[in-house]
Structure 1
Amino acid sequence: MNWKAYIHSNPKIRLGKPVIKRTRLSVEFILGFFSEGWTQEQILENYPTLNQSLTYS
């Protein structure tokens, strides 16, 4: 997987933290869910915009 197709950083968005493209959700935020035991399905269910962001390239 080419992570650059899904993640980017812009100093004007979230102070330059890496975010999922087409969202304002930081990678750190999403990884926090995985560290708490959430599944991919649970995250996508709660953040449906992620599913749409990841299907576009």
Structure 2
Amino acid sequence: MTEWRNRITVDPEVLVGKPIVRGTRISVELLLDRLGDGWSIEQILDAYPRLSRDDVLAAISFVSEVFREERFIAVAKAGV
């Protein structure tokens, strides 16, 4: 799994403290939204040339770790 700690950061002064790719204003949320919309990593990289493949993989790893550490899942969001 990609080590995200050197690529993903949270700064209360940037995007209201949302996790972002370090050195950008591109949020992890935006990247996951694009992937959820069916974009490939290559399409994301074309649209956001400041990003690297490792940045996108770091965002995915970050979210994966957050979910592993959560004590609950938003069941209502999943439609169950």
Query: Which band: TM-score by shorter chain?
Result: 0.7 to 0.9
Count of aligned positions? 53
User: What TM-score does the superposition give when structure 2 sets the normalisation length?
Assistant: 0.62
Of structures 1 and 2, the larger Rg is shown by 2
| Runs of at least 4 residues off by over 6 Å | none
Identity rate, percent: 40
The Cα RMSD (Å) is 1.4
Listed as ranges, the gaps of 5+ residues in structure 1 are none
Per-residue Cα deviation, 1:5-44 (whole angstroms, up to 9, x for no partner): 1100000000100000111011001100000000000000
Counterpart in 2 of 1:33?
Answer: 34
Q: Partners of 1:19 and 1:46 in 2: how far apart?
A: 16
User: What TM-score does the superposition give when structure 1 sets the normalisation length?
Assistant: 0.86
Structure 1 residue 4: Cα displacement: 0.7
Counterpart in 1 of 2:5?
Answer: 4
Listed as ranges, the gaps of 5+ residues in structure 2 are 56-80
